[in-house]
Structure 1
Amino acid sequence: MTTGPLPLQPLSPISVRRNHTAPLPARNSAAGARRRILTPLYIACANRSRGPDDYYATLKALNSKGRTPRKSLGQHYMLNSEVNEKLVSAANVEEGDVVLEIGPGTGSLTNVLINAGAIVLAIEKDPHMAALVSERFASTDRLKVLKEDVVKCHIHSHMLSLLGSKKSSDHSKSRYAKVVSNIPFNISTEVVKLLLPMGDIFSEVVLLLQEETALRLVESSVRTSEYRPINVFVNFYSDPEYKLSVPRTNFFPQPNVDAAVVTFKLKQAAEYPQVSSTKSFFSMVNSAFNGKRKMLRRSLQHICTSLEIEKALGSIGLPPTSRPEELSLGDFVKLHNLIVKE
């Protein structure tokens, strides 16, 4: 049993199911592999990746700062350069693109982005890793590192500044930026909620997520147990697509779950479903799902009477006993516009 990364398993968009993921090692074998990986950091690997940021290069970078991954920050470092190449390819990164990277870590993905010709804004919460990636790329003017927490960062102003300087320097029309990131699993939902409404500055968001989260965001549909407000949110602001699975053995330390690459093509404001207020729309959706097993005529009584809700449901072709998991994004939009008075 080796501890090196396994090959990627490309999957067709949308038609992903759990049984398509790569076969995993036996439980006790995996446990033994994790114990060997955790201490010490200097490890041999029989199945090393190609490229400058393989298994050894990543561990060497961590050792150079005497760092061990911090569980509190959800740090799992990519050991397979092929995954980084596929992330960049999924975003169609070209010469001159402005790219936001969240959590650059040792800079393995950053390196691929810069080699592809991108101008990168990297946001890193861990000051030690921010220093490491800054030192590594000190000789290039294609990288700016911010030592900040991404969920508290003023992304808009930073990105607009970069896009503006690029426009003035190359005299070209301003293009939308992109997001390409291997983000900590523990902040994935926060990051998705933060980035998807930013269609005014980003054209697409490409993320490496926990596979279960990826499947839930992309595949969950009406009348399934996984259908939640986040699905309405994702489809309101974007067109999501599942790209490929990434086995857990490609990370250090090895997490307890596999990962997946997902792309979100962001919509422009003119493409959003027409609602009088996005704030009141998502407030209504969240209220509906707070009583998921309740009929909407009961869970939305704080907005209007049960009779009015039943009438509104009937006018859009739905039964008066409808529950939230039975409504599509379009149904929620129609219902909102009928019962919410601004």
Structure 2
Amino acid sequence: MTEPSQPDGTTRTQPLLGAGDIRRLAAHLDIRPTKALGQNFVIDGNTIRRIVSAAGLDETETVLEVGPGLGSLTLGLLDAAARVVAVEIDPALAGLLSDTVAKVRPGAQDRLTVVLADAMRVTELPYSPTALVANLPYNVAVPVVLNLLERFPSLEHGLVMVQDEVADRLAAPPGSRTYGVPSVKAAWYSQMQKAGVIGMNVFWPAPKIASGLVRFTRRDPPQTTATRQEVFAVIDAAFAQRRKTLRAALAGWAGSPVAAEQAIRHAGVDPSARGEVLDVKAFARIAEGGRALFA
């Protein structure tokens, strides 16, 4: 578990887990990565360093990591931050993580807290995280990100690795081809931007598609009298039939096309426009207009 040395014999960086280490740990637990849990373990130390560097952490932070797996990223995060809270759904992996850290980073296990839980259902953590850094399962990446941003307002920033197509969607601006529900809902909480692409060969097992890095910074939601749930209901309705005009797409939400047009015009939006050209502030105004007109 050692990294290449400098010419003078000193270790260039703290040791990280390589492919052989990951496979040995998996064999020790008698496990194989499963598609059901979206388990693709990072086996390349340079990729871990790239992720940690792109996350922009400082040494005072508490980092929330979702799905730490066998600990590849966890070690890199412990090198950069004050504390890591790792949420793991797999009991076998959760049970091994502290031991792995103790062996590879003696003493660092005191700064690691492992929470056995589903990130989609976790509502409390023993420490308030300031950053989210995670290699997220492809099939639940968007709901996990949105849930954590909603549940933990202490999260100020972060970096997530997701399916490359999902990364494009999360970071997409209004009017782009990939702009949709994930883009708008993520924008309610934060400014998101794509921070790079990760190839397939740095994982075990190797996925069939590339991964993307998405960096986010928390910001205040739009000022509106509508609730988040009301705004998200408008977003869902607008993109459920994205080829239709807002007047038609929001007819079910408003009760009729005429009522939808009233709410849309009240928001200062063209009823003949489509949802894919609106930013989150416009959706908030429509939700607010609906509340005012239909109360």
* Distance change >3 Å, CA 116–CA 317, structure 1 → 2: closer
* Distance change >3 Å, CA 184–CA 308, structure 1 → 2: closer
Within the alignment, does 1:228 sit opposite 2:197 as a pair? no
Q: Aligned match of 2:135 in 168, 178, 182?
A: 182
TM-score (norm: length of structure 2): 0.84
Task: Specify the code of the residue in structure 1 equivalent to 2:287.
Answer: H
Within the alignment, does 1:322 sit opposite 2:286 as a pair? no
SS for the counterpart of 2:174 is coil
* Distance change >3 Å, CA 79–CA 301, structure 1 → 2: same
By how many angstroms is 1:105 displaced? 1.1
Deviations 1:82-101 (A, max 9, x none): 12112222222222311111
Listed as ranges, the matches of 1:36-51 within 5 Å are 51=15
Within the alignment, does 1:206 sit opposite 2:175 as a pair? no
Deviations 1:139-158 (A, max 9, x none): 5310111122111222xx21
Deviations 1:195-247 (A, max 9, x none): 2334621101211111111012112532x443222211111111001111100
Which runs of no fewer than 5 residues in structure 1 stay unpaired?
1-48, 164-175
Which runs of no fewer than 5 residues in structure 2 stay unpaired?
1-12
Q: Aligned match of 1:287 in 213, 237, 246?
A: 237
Task: Specify the code of the residue in structure 2 equivalent to 1:230.
Answer: P
SS for the counterpart of 1:83 is helix
On the 8 A contact 1:199/1:266 being kept in 2, the answer is no
Task: Specify the code of the residue in structure 2 equivalent to 1:85.
Answer: R
- Specify the alignment match of 2:77 in structure 1: 113
- Specify the alignment match of 1:172 in structure 2: none
- Give me the identity figure in percent: 27
Listed as ranges, the matches of 1:8-47 within 5 Å are none
- Specify the alignment match of 1:144 in structure 2: 113
Q: RMSD of aligned C-alpha atoms?
A: 2.3
Within the alignment, does 1:296 sit opposite 2:261 as a pair? no
By how many angstroms is 1:80 displaced? 1.0
Q: Aligned match of 2:284 in 333, 337, 340?
A: 333
- Specify the alignment match of 1:28 in structure 2: none
Report which structure shows greater RCO (CA 8 Å, sep ≥6).
1
Distance 1:65 1:85 in 2: 26
- Specify the alignment match of 2:208 in structure 1: 256
Listed as ranges, the matches of 1:84-163 within 5 Å are 84-138=48-102, 139=107, 140-154=109-123, 157-158=124-125, 161-163=126-128
Distance 1:279 1:188 in 2: 20
By how many angstroms is 1:315 displaced? 5.6
Deviations 1:231-289 (A, max 9, x none): 11111111001111100111000100001111111124xx5342421111111221222
- Specify the alignment match of 1:217 in structure 2: 170
